[in-house]
Amino acid sequence: MSSDESHQAPLSPEAKNYSTRRDFLLKIGVGINAIATLMIGIPIIGFVCSTLIKKTSRKWVSLGPVTKFTEGSTRLVAYQTPYGRSADGPTKTLTCWVRRMPGDKFRIFAANCTHLGCPVRWFEESQLFLCPCHGGAFYADGEHAAGPPPRALYEYEYKVMIRGGVLPNLANPGGPV
């Protein structure tokens, strides 16, 4: 063996035609990082792009007859979400606070605090909605009174609905029953 043959330059990484354990582990690491990037990136992209998606239209829900609510009082009302499925179970039932003003005017508030969504309770004696989680307080008109909530209670849009479809007459003054 000549001295030229024993001092050959090592092969460059590009020139080798075999795979090492280091190469294998590098490929596994790149694959795991790619999967983790996709798992984190897809929800973030979905959240950012969700503003471009058309919002679900709201449906009117009946809370009962107007006579069920006395003037000047506030009461909790439960209703079934129109978007519920049988698999939703008890979470299909939602609540709101209904305050009847003089006449046929109402203030209907979401039953959740605007801070972290905890359910608020109405206290008739103090005329306040109070949140038990972090001490948030709201006046009877839903405005923020104290505590960490950043804004007033969320308020639902409402309308007083009628039962229609048939023109009332002398024989049937209230329409169909």
| DSSP classification of residue 66 | G
111: exposed, middle or buried (Cβ count in 10 Å: 0-12, 13-18, 19+) = buried
Rounded to whole angstroms, how far apart are CA atoms 124 and 97?
13
List, for residues 73-127, the tens digit of each pLDDT value: 899 988 888 887 888 888 888 888 999 988 888 898 888 888 888 899 999 999 9
* Structural tokens at position 145: 């009174």
Using DSSP's 3-state secondary structure scheme, residue 4 falls into: helix
**177 — pLDDT class (breaks 50, 70, 90):** very low
Phi-psi region for residue 18, left (φ > 0), alpha (ψ -120 to 50) or beta? beta
pTM listed for this prediction: 0.61
List, for residues 27-64, the tens digit of each pLDDT value: 999 999 999 999 999 999 988 888 787 776 777 888 88
Residue type, 133: C
Bridge partners for 32 per DSSP: none
Residue type, 144: H
Q: What element of type H or E holds 32?
A: helix 21-49
Q: Taking the CA atoms of 123, 126, 131 and 134 in sequence, report the sign of the dihedral they define.
A: negative
